[in-house]
Amino acid sequence: MMILRLACAWASVAVFLLFGDTLLGQLGAPLPSLLVFLWLLGVIIWSSFGVVHEAEDLADRLGEPYGTLILTLSIVIIEVALVGAVMLGAKGAPTLGRDTMFAVLMIVLNGVVGIGLLIGGLRHFQQRYNLKGATSYLAVIIPLTVIPLFLPNFTTSTPDGTLTSFQAIAFSIFTVALYGAFLALQTGRHSMFFREPEEDGKPVAAAGVEEESSSAREILPHVGLLLANILPIVILSKSLAAVLDFGIAKLGAPAALGGILIAMVVFTPECIAALKAITANQLQRAVNLCLGAAASTLGMTVPAVLLIGVFTGQPVVLGLSATNMVIAAMTLLLSTLTFTGTRTTMLEGAVHLAVFFVFLVLVFSP
C-alpha cells in the first residue's frame, strides 16, 4: 500500500509538471473540471494519510509530545503550501488565509473535539488527560487567535481588517517568537505536560535511554517516507488551488468555502487520527493533535500569509467579521471551560458540536 501510494502520488506530480497547463486549460468544461478536481483531491488526501501513517510510526518510536508535534507540523506545512499557492496564483484572495485559519479552529476545536468527546463519553464515560498540557496549549492559542484575527478590526492605521507593512512584519515576528518559545518548552523542560497521565494523575515517564537510542536508528527511513508523502502534496497544491479558485467562482459559492475546503482536505487525516485516539481512550494524544493543530496553524499560517502579502503587495484581510468574532470568542471560552478539569464528559462534546453546526449555518447564511 505504501509503495502504491507513493507511486500514484509521484506519477501525478510528473503528469502535472509535464501536462499541467493542458489539463488546467480544460477547466471551462464541467466534466473535465470535475475529473481533474477529483484526481487531485484523491491524491492529496491519500498522501495525507501516508503522512499520518509515517508520523504515527515516528510517534511510537519517539513518544509524546514529539509524535503528535511531527504530525501537526507536517500537516500545517501542507496547509501553508495550499494557502500560499492560492494567494500567489489567484492574486485576488485577500481573505483566504483568515478563512482557512478560522475554519481550522472551528473544525478542530468544535467539530473534532465535539464528536470525539461524545464518542469518548459513550465508550469510556469519563476520560482523563493532562491538565497542564491542555492549559499550556490554550495559553498560546488565545493570544495567537485574538491578535491576528480580532485586533486588525480595531486598529486605525488601515481599514477593513488589514494591517500596515510594519504591523504585518511585527505581528509575524511576535507570532513566530511565541510559537517557537512554546515548541521549545513543549519539547524541553515541559514535555511531561503532554504525555498520557497515569492513574494517579501524574504523566507517564519518558522512555529510557536505551529505547531512545534503539529507536533513533530506525527514525531516518520514516522521516524519508514522511517527506516523500509531503512533497507531492506541496507540488500539486498549486494545481488544486487553481481548480478550487475556478470552481468557487463558477458556482458563485461563498468566499469562505475555499478556506473550509482547504482545512478539510488537509486536516481530515489528522482529525481521523484524533478520533481513533479518543476511541482507544488516549485522550491526551487527541488533545495534543487537536489543540496542537490549532496552535501550529496560527503560529505558522499567520506569518506566512502576512509575509506573502508584504512581498507581493497583495492586501491581506485578517480581521474576522463581527459574527465570526462572536463564534471565535465563544469557542475560546468553551475550550477553556472544557479543559479546566482533568476529565471530560459527553456534555462538553455536545456543546462544542452545537457551536460547530452554528458555524456551518453562518457560512451559507451569514
Residue 194 · residue 284 · CB < 8 Å: yes
User: CA 204: distance to chain centroid?
Assistant: 27
Model confidence band, residue 199 (pLDDT cutoffs 50, 70, 90): low
SS3 call for 321: coil
pLDDT in tens, 160-173: 888 899 999 999 99
Tally of residues, the chain: 366
Q: DSSP assignment, residue 153?
A: G
For 267, residues 6+ apart whose C-beta sits below 8 A from its C-beta are 75, 79, 104, 107, 108, 293
What is residue 55's three-state secondary structure?
helix
**Amino acid (one-letter) located at 249:** A
pTM of the model: 0.81
Q: pLDDT: is 104 or 246 the higher one?
A: 104
| Amino acid of residue 66 | Y
Residue given cell 489567484 in the structure block: 90
Cα 225 from Cα 315, distance rounded (Å):
37
Q: What is the pLDDT of residue 205?
A: 47
Convert the pLDDT of each residue in 10-25 to its tens digit: 898 888 888 877 777 7
Q: Rounded to the nearest 10 degrees, what angle do helices 283-312 and 165-186 cross at?
A: 150
What average pLDDT score do residues 246-269 get? 77
| Gap between the Cα atoms of 34 and 39, Å rounded | 8
